[in-house]
Amino acid sequence: MDGHRISMLGTGLISDFYTNTLHGQRGRDRVRVVYSRSEERGSAFKERWAIPESTSDLRAAVEHADTDVVVVALPNFLHEEAVGLAAAAGKAVLCTKPLGRTADEARRMLQAVEAAGVFGGYLEDLCYTPKTLKAIASTQAGAIGDVTWVRSRETHPGPHSAWFWDGRLTGGGAIIDLGCHCIEIIRNFVGKGNRPVEVLCHTDTLVHPIADEDNAVALIRFESGAIGQFEVSWTFRGGMDLRDEVAGTHGTIWMNHFLRTGFEMFSAPGAGGGYVAEKAESSSGWLFPVGDEVSELGYVDMFSDMFQAIDEDRAPQETFYDGYVVNAIMDAAYRSAKAHAWVPVDLDWRGGATARIASTPETYDGQVVVKREILPDGRHKLILKDPASGDFIDRIVGGG
Amino acid sequence: MDGHRISMLGTGLISDFYTNTLHGQRGRDRVRVVYSRSEERGSAFKERWAIPESTSDLRAAVEHADTDVVVVALPNFLHEEAVGLAAAAGKAVLCTKPLGRTADEARRMLQAVEAAGVFGGYLEDLCYTPKTLKAIASTQAGAIGDVTWVRSRETHPGPHSAWFWDGRLTGGGAIIDLGCHCIEIIRNFVGKGNRPVEVLCHTDTLVHPIADEDNAVALIRFESGAIGQFEVSWTFRGGMDLRDEVAGTHGTIWMNHFLRTGFEMFSAPGAGGGYVAEKAESSSGWLFPVGDEVSELGYVDMFSDMFQAIDEDRAPQETFYDGYVVNAIMDAAYRSAKAHAWVPVDLDWRGGATARIASTPETYDGQVVVKREILPDGRHKLILKDPASGDFIDRIVGGG
Amino acid sequence: MDGHRISMLGTGLISDFYTNTLHGQRGRDRVRVVYSRSEERGSAFKERWAIPESTSDLRAAVEHADTDVVVVALPNFLHEEAVGLAAAAGKAVLCTKPLGRTADEARRMLQAVEAAGVFGGYLEDLCYTPKTLKAIASTQAGAIGDVTWVRSRETHPGPHSAWFWDGRLTGGGAIIDLGCHCIEIIRNFVGKGNRPVEVLCHTDTLVHPIADEDNAVALIRFESGAIGQFEVSWTFRGGMDLRDEVAGTHGTIWMNHFLRTGFEMFSAPGAGGGYVAEKAESSSGWLFPVGDEVSELGYVDMFSDMFQAIDEDRAPQETFYDGYVVNAIMDAAYRSAKAHAWVPVDLDWRGGATARIASTPETYDGQVVVKREILPDGRHKLILKDPASGDFIDRIVGGG
Amino acid sequence: MDGHRISMLGTGLISDFYTNTLHGQRGRDRVRVVYSRSEERGSAFKERWAIPESTSDLRAAVEHADTDVVVVALPNFLHEEAVGLAAAAGKAVLCTKPLGRTADEARRMLQAVEAAGVFGGYLEDLCYTPKTLKAIASTQAGAIGDVTWVRSRETHPGPHSAWFWDGRLTGGGAIIDLGCHCIEIIRNFVGKGNRPVEVLCHTDTLVHPIADEDNAVALIRFESGAIGQFEVSWTFRGGMDLRDEVAGTHGTIWMNHFLRTGFEMFSAPGAGGGYVAEKAESSSGWLFPVGDEVSELGYVDMFSDMFQAIDEDRAPQETFYDGYVVNAIMDAAYRSAKAHAWVPVDLDWRGGATARIASTPETYDGQVVVKREILPDGRHKLILKDPASGDFIDRIVGGG
């Protein structure tokens, strides 16, 4: 029943979400020390969450004698250093998304944890939302057949902190911020062993006065023939739009994680306290709050999986290798946008091969059945294709 | 960081939900012993949830040396005995809904815990759903003004266990099973200090071959003038419909807890494993799963509040007194249905008095402003009432 | 292919909706003359809709030589006079809702058209929305079994014109304005031959400085045992909430006619032109426009039915008798609210008798089957009731 | 008030929808003669819709002495011949979507009507749905700022008639069947004068045993920088999914035309009559009917616009030129899929030039304002970019 003691690196919004989750709901794990580059922010965070210690010494935070787990919640350009220190200290390291600014950076981090033999967990919360976990399980159980297409969309009006807008520190714009979520969601549905073969991406900077993309759309073709499609934007108006859609040969899944979850409020004076939900644009008129954000956004299930995995000495659902694959696909997206063409995904692939989606068509009377519909009177209408001529005909037959 | 050790009484569906919650997500509290009237069910439950011990001796379970909290998850007719034993053992006792079969029974249980000076928590999960908690907080912060009306609806096709259908064991039908939820949800929105004055209830048995009601609708009038309306049914088709609607003088809240939460699936072959959500009617076609049922149904926040309250020596959100008030309102509902008339709520009221909803109307030019609308051109349209004649007129005035 | 020529009485919002419908979409019927008590409003209306003539002489408008149909779109207190004139002129008369201010007034109007042998159509648009028409047809075809309960809700922040607020002119408050819609919607679902037996109604004036009710909830018990429930309010915040819910022994119908119809807009600057939808509260932020209001609100199908009925010499779906029944139920609602008790509906009933909802329960092994559930493994779980002892037991049996 | 008399060419599902619309709701226009290649189908259609005549002579139908309008509702490969005959006969011609199988075919049809000086209307119903018309109007009025991105999605399980599946007769697969709708919807939102510059399209045949694509996704880049995205599929499960999403610099529009329109039904026995909505997959369980399909799908407003345009001697919203542009974009999509690359749209462009989406960024203290957020305390948080260094900083300033 013993919990873990954590070195939390970073004090931004994501550190608040993480600590809120870890300290919430009778959890047994606790943040023991928090690191910030700023004494002031570290100290405020310490007070806010009743943490015993804060420090502005990164190494001291990582190597703290009472912690066994390091959570990296720093801006992207600091991930590699922090992961390296944690690996050297022989501690389990959990790193926020994206793993690296590039696949090269991510590969080096992967190598660092593997060489040190420490646990490496990739903190990709949106793959752990309760809806997503149940949908993945249903998909794996065959509820929608073979997955043919996945759309993952994450858009909002732009990040809250300055460093997010500086591609030199992050590795890019809306793709590196939001696309990483979408890509890993897509991989969970098409199957993690399904190799991402090539990417087509379009980016543009339409609204904000920045050098990096504030809008992007991409297609990812997987070995099975499945297509992943992501849409990311820092210019969406209306709040934070998090939706996933999955099409299979025998079914469909639609998930709305934020703006339409069965919770609707009209407030003339404005919702109490001003906070409605992350990235909400106003606090009066029609509002769409979210019940329990740390649960709905996947933080709760994510940390449960991570700590259970450490306790059970198994890999978590989302590993550093997954983070590396995501970076490799984002690299391809940026190359594609620049080349204005499909580009292959450059990747040290550890998964196997995946067969193409296929089924043997039904035949009827020597003809191929293209479609079978049940008529109101119980008879069946067949659309048949003559394999020789390629001609199509309608034919009504008895039911059953 | 130490957790609690629990005597779980009962092994039905609700005990599964409770234990799933307590043992889930890195929680620090644990079921130490489980009681069932049946050795076989107790033993199976013990295995299912990795509990050290099971027993068919109620007193032994309650008085177990290693537990400090007793959770009563038994059929209604066994609540009083179990609560009495727990109080006598000097242990904190958490009792599932409804507290009693009648207000008399509930009052005796309330007296038992108060006399013994033990903690008494009323396990009313649906007052703790994340949406409900946030909506209550917004309402208390003034986001929708004064609450004028609350509709709480809980309907499904009927319970899964035989004893639920026997009014002798439960105290009634759909009201005692489902109405208790609705009533306490309503009280949280209109304010717990807002006295329930009278009740009008209509019941009928339209579908099932039973003696108790399978459908009921009721109105509860509170001292402020607010109206609570509950709709319960054991004959609803399509799954479990859990919705709450709150109208205030300045806003509106709509919550859908189950069938429409932003998670939709079409499955031709059927959702994997057959389980979609509690009370779902089919596992193919269009389905509406719920992400994390124990969270969405309020179990997680409920137990967190209960154990924090014990740890902090404070009252939980839902107390035995609340359970008693709910029983008193249900008693009134049954009396009303029988009398075919409004009946007063018979209650030892501990809350104070609540003023009637009121506001001072705006006046304009000596007339009462009934409504003010902003026209597209920015001018205002006033509907004015002459206080002397009672006549109404329209008047267009400049904006601002 | 010849159309009808219409005398339009009234120039308020409803006359605009009516004329918009009649002159819209290549319709063949046309307004020939419009009457208003005010020359100015009549003239403006004439221009707005390209109508040949306007007049402030009611009799002249009704008796206009070129018209064969009179549409009464006047304030409630003028209906009886207008209907009387039309009947005397031997013209078909279509009267807006509510037919009268009281059942007595409605009965006299019914008698007037019947005595004169002219066509009398009751312009109850919300019984003609495309969703409602399809849902009624499905219900009549057995798609949801026997109807057990209908909820009809119509709420908004209050009417736009002064006269609506004066109960002396209208006959009441929110019930007379909105409840008339709900009642007739309910009747269409429970069956028009299903006698409304008694009514329980609660009213209150919670927000507006008026003498009549701005909120009301009522239950209507029909002969079959079905319950109709209406909720009306002039204090709802967020726009116009028009929803109907129908529960049957074998199914469920949910209709949302206005605020959630699959059309959602977030507008920071504000929707173009300022008009979003009837009773919308703002034109920026999240908005919920309606596609084609005259179609979605039932005006198109209503007038089609009326004119087809005249052409085919048959009764329309909604007759003056229906309007009279609605008034009789509203009278009962007002009496109930005053008496604070269930009251019978006082009515010249032309329908027949309706049997109580009933079904013969399935038996198994001499026991009554209360519920049958299919388990994931294909077996069936029966909840059985012993007819002798009244005891309930669970029993698992093979499937099929 | 006189209507038009129509030669209807074709008797398939689309002819039923068209005639249902034309003859519905008191319309003044009528089908005078119907043509089918099959005497039997022509005769049945004639009976079904009470049409005076049917014929299997195409020229005779077109040249019928009593008709002034020809509606081409034939399979794609017959459009050109029919349009040619109508133009030669000097009659107004309305042609169903897609105009041609290729842009060449469409251009010849465009030339035929222009050379003959007859009216040419392109029957693109989904640009005329009531929601779409209102959304286009709001967009043109500035409600969502500059349009940056439009997603149009049309998917279902595959067409009902054999000829649809034969690319030789249609010109392709799901793109030619469904993509034509999406493209023209997109053009209406980005502006018809906004030149489509290039297209990237991915197609695949994943489920059906056919030679043409059963799935496709494409991006269309317009001159303004706006991106149109269409998703079409003949393998979607769950009914017919028709959704459009529009993102603008200052707002968002979401439209759901079919599966989620505020009309939901659970039917255990099955909806009466078996018909729920076009392409519905089942008639029991949870169903999502559509109120009035001919209205919701745009047929009513489309024909109103067409006939009004003829009467007023103006161009309709959707012209043969629009049909030609759509074909040109589809040609590009097919070329792109084959080339596996972005390809330019080859087009005789009649629109002008469109400026790129742009705005002048706000400055503060010599720095560029990247984002401005209002904090709960009323102060503003600015994210600023130093134009010299490219560095970003956060800064809190007073409100107002």
pLDDT in tens, A180-199: 999 999 999 999 999 999 99
The pLDDT value recorded for residue C274 is 59
Rama region for B279: left / alpha / beta (φ>0; ψ in -120 to 50; rest):
left
Residue of D nearest to C244 (CA): D263
Q: What gap in Å lies between CA B134 and CA C157, rounded to an integer?
A: 25
**CB contact (8 A) between residue A286 and residue C285:** yes
Tokens of A346: 């450059």
Task: Check residue C299 and give its pLDDT.
Answer: 97
CB-closest option in C144, C166, C370 to B210 = C370
pLDDT of residue B280: 79
- What integer pLDDT is reported at residue C40 of this predicted model? 97
DSSP state, residue D361: P
Average pLDDT over residues A94-99: 98
Work out the minimum CA distance from D287 to partner chain B, whole angstroms: 8
Could you give the CA distance from residue A116 to residue A54 in angstroms, rounded to a whole number? 26
pLDDT of residue B273: 52
Q: Do B251 and A272 make contact, defined as CB atoms within 8 angstroms?
A: no
Percent of chain A with pLDDT over 90: 90
| Whether B284 contacts chain C with CB within 8 A | no
Task: Tell me if D250 and C269 make a contact (CB, 8 A cut-off).
Answer: yes
Is the full-model pTM beyond 0.90? yes
CA D224 to chain centre: 21
Task: Judge whether C263 is closer than 8 Å to chain A, CB to CB.
Answer: no
Task: With CB atoms and an 8 Å threshold, state whether C385 touches B342.
Answer: no
Cβ atoms < 10 Å from Cβ of A389: 7
Digit-coded pLDDT (tens) for A123-136: 999 999 999 999 99
Strand runs labelled E in chain D = 5-9, 30-35, 53-55, 69-72, 92-96, 120-123, 147-155, 196-204, 215-222, 227-233, 241-248, 251-256, 263-267, 285-287, 343-344, 363-364, 367-374, 380-385, 392-397
Residues ≥6 apart with Cβ < 8 Å to C294: C17, C20, C21, C24, C300
Quote the CA–CA distance of A25 and D19 in Å, as a whole number: 62
Which chain C residues have a beta carbon less than 8 Å from that of A238?
266, 286
Q: How many CA atoms lie within 13 A of B373 on its CB side?
A: 22
Q: How far apart are CA B104 and CA B118, in angstroms?
A: 20
Backbone φ, ψ for residue C64 (5° rounding): -50, 130
Q: C236, C286, C287, C288: which to substitute to probe chain A, counting the most A Cβ within 10 Å?
A: C286
- Candidates A76, A156, A163, A204: best to mutate against D (most CBs of D within 10 A) is A204
* Element containing residue B383 per DSSP (H, E): strand B380-385
CA C55: distance to chain centroid? 30
Q: What is the rounded distance in angstroms from the CA atom of residue A230 to the CA atom of residue A71?
A: 28
Give the whole-angstrom CA distance, residue D230 versus residue D186.
Answer: 8
- Average pLDDT of A293-307? 97
Residue for token digits 């209360």?
C370
Q: Is A281 near chain C, with CB under 8 Å?
A: yes
Q: Which tokens is D234 given? A: 């003949």
CA distance D389 to chain C (A): 32
Residuewise pLDDT in 10s, chain B (400 residues): 589 999 999 999 999 999 999 999 999 999 999 999 999 999 999 999 999 999 999 999 999 999 999 999 999 999 999 999 999 999 999 999 999 999 999 999 999 999 999 999 999 999 999 999 999 999 999 999 999 999 999 999 999 999 999 999 999 999 999 999 999 999 999 999 999 999 999 999 999 999 999 999 999 999 999 999 999 999 999 999 999 999 999 999 999 999 999 999 999 887 555 567 777 777 789 999 999 999 999 999 999 999 999 999 999 999 999 999 999 999 999 999 999 999 999 999 999 999 999 888 899 999 999 998 887 777 889 999 999 999 999 999 986 5
Specify whether the CB–CB gap between A124 and A330 falls below 8 A: no
**What average pLDDT does the structure give for chain C?**
95
Note the residue count of chain C: 400
Q: Which site among B26, B261, B293, B307 would you substitute to test the A interface, given the most A Cβ atoms closer than 10 Å to its Cβ?
A: B26
Cβ <8 Å between A165 and D385: yes
Half-sphere exposure of C319 (CA within 13 A, CB side): 15
Chain centre to alpha carbon of residue B394: 45
| Ordered per-residue pLDDT tens for chain D, 400 residues | 589 999 999 999 999 999 999 999 999 999 999 999 999 999 999 999 999 999 999 999 999 999 999 999 999 999 999 999 999 999 999 999 999 999 999 999 999 999 999 999 999 999 999 999 999 999 999 999 999 999 999 999 999 999 999 999 999 999 999 999 999 999 999 999 999 999 999 999 999 999 999 999 999 999 999 999 999 999 999 999 999 999 999 999 999 999 999 999 999 887 555 567 777 777 789 999 999 999 999 999 999 999 999 999 999 999 999 999 999 999 999 999 999 999 999 999 999 999 999 888 899 999 999 998 887 777 889 999 999 999 999 999 986 5
Phi, psi for A247 (deg, rounded to 5):
-110, 135
Q: Beta strand C69-72 with C92-96: parallel, antiparallel or unpaired?
A: parallel
Q: Considering chain C, what percentage of its residues have pLDDT values greater than 70? A: 98
Contact assessment for residue C78 and residue C109, using Cβ atoms and an 8 Å cutoff: no
Task: Note whether B228 and B199 are within 8 A (CB).
Answer: no
The full 3-state SS of chain C, as one line of letters, equals: CCCCEEEEECCCHHHHHHHHHHHCCCECCEEEEEECCCHHHHHHHHHHHCCCEEECCHHHHHCCCCCCEEEECCCHHHHHHHHHHHHHCCCEEEEECCCCCCHHHHHHHHHHHHHHCCCEEEECHHHCCHHHHHHHHHHHCCCCCCEEEEEEEEECCCCCCHHHHCHHHHCCCHHHHHHHHHHHHHHHHHCCCCCEEEEEEEEECCCCCCCCCCEEEEEEEECCCCEEEEEEECCCCCCCEEEEEEEECCEEEEEECCCCCCEEEEECCCCCCCCCCCCCCCCCEEECCCCCHHHHCCHHHHHHHHHHHHHHCCCCCCEHHHHHHHHHHHHHHHHHHHHCCCEECCCCCCCCCCCCCCCCCCEECCEEEEEEEECCCCCEEEEEECCCCCCEEEEEECCC
From B157, B170, B155, select the one nearest B212 (Cα to Cα): B170
Model confidence at A271, pLDDT cuts 50, 70, 90, reads low
Inter-chain CB proximity C284 and A287 less than 8 Å: no
Using a CB-CB distance cutoff of 8 angstroms, which residues of chain A are in contact with residue D357? Answer: 206-207
* pLDDT for D399: 67
Chains that touch A (3 or more CB pairs under 8 A): B, C, D
By the 10 Å C-beta count (0-12 exposed, 13-18 middle, 19+ buried), A39 is classed as: exposed
Distance between alpha carbon D252 and the CA centroid of its chain, in Å? 20
Contact B148 C206 (CB under 8 A): yes
The radius of gyration computed from the CA coordinates of chain C, to the nearest angstrom, equals: 24
Task: Please tell me the distance from the alpha carbon of residue D16 to that of residue A96, in angstroms, as a whole number.
Answer: 57
* Cα distances (Å, whole numbers) of residue A26 to A34, B24, D314: 20, 10, 71
| A75 close to D (CB below 8 A) | no
User: Tokens 């799935």 belong to which residue?
Assistant: D215
- Degrees, nearest 5: CA angle C318-C321-C324: 110
CA angle, A203 then A206 then A207, to 5°: 135
Q: What is the pLDDT of residue C388?
A: 93
| Residues 21-40 of chain D whose Cβ lies under 8 A from any Cβ of chain C | 24-30
Which of B28, B265, B289 shows the shortest C-beta gap to A252?
A: B265
Q: What are phi and psi of A379, to 5 degrees?
A: -75, 165
Q: Do D253 and C268 lie within an 8 Å CB cutoff?
A: no
Confidence band (pLDDT; 50, 70, 90) for C400? Answer: low
CA distance C231 to C218: 7
- The tens digit of pLDDT for each residue in C374-390 reads 777 778 899 999 999 99
**Who's near D359: CB < 8 A, 6+ residues apart?**
A207, D249
Q: Provide CB contacts within 8 A for D117, sequence distance 6+.
A: none
C361: alpha, beta or left? (left if phi > 0; alpha if psi -120 to 50): beta
Q: Where are the beta strands (DSSP E) in A234-348?
A: 241-248, 251-256, 263-267, 285-287, 343-344
Task: Determine the residue type at D173.
Answer: G
Tally of residues, chain A: 400
How much is the pLDDT for A272? 53
Q: Which residue of B has its CA nearest to C165?
A: B392
Q: What is the Cα–Cα distance from B145 to D240, expressed in whole angstroms?
A: 42
Closest-CA residue of C relative to A269 is C237
> What's the distance, CA B201 to chain centroid?
18
Would you tell me which residues 144-173 of chain C have a C-beta closer than 8 angstroms to some C-beta of chain D? 144-145
Distances (CA, A) of D326 to A384, D125, D195, D218, D340: 30, 14, 12, 13, 20
Position D295, amino acid: S
- The whole-number pLDDT of residue B162 equals 94
Contacts of A214 (CB under 8 A, 6+ apart): A158, A173, A174, A204, A205, A206, A207, A208, A233, A234, A235
Q: Distances in Å between the alpha carbon of B76 and those of B102, B212, C19, C232?
A: 10, 15, 61, 37
**pLDDT higher than 80, residue A282:** no
In sequence order, the 6+-apart residues with CB closer than 8 A to the CB of B377 are: none
pLDDT given at position B125: 98
Contacts of A105 (CB under 8 A, 6+ apart): A79, A80, A99, A171, A327
Q: What letter would DSSP give residue D144? A: T
Q: Compute the nearest-CA separation of D279 from chain B (Å).
A: 14
In whole angstroms, give the CA distance from residue C27 to residue A168.
Answer: 64
Residue A400 pLDDT > 60? no
B226: number of Cβ within 10 Å = 27
pLDDT of residue C293: 94
- pLDDT surpasses 90 at A152: yes
Alpha carbon of C249: minimum distance to chain B alpha carbons (Å): 7
Percent of chain A at pLDDT > 70 equals 98
Which amino acid makes up residue D183? I
In this predicted structure, the answer to whether residue C1 has a pLDDT above a threshold of 90 is no
Q: Is D209's CB within 8 Å of A370's CB?
A: yes
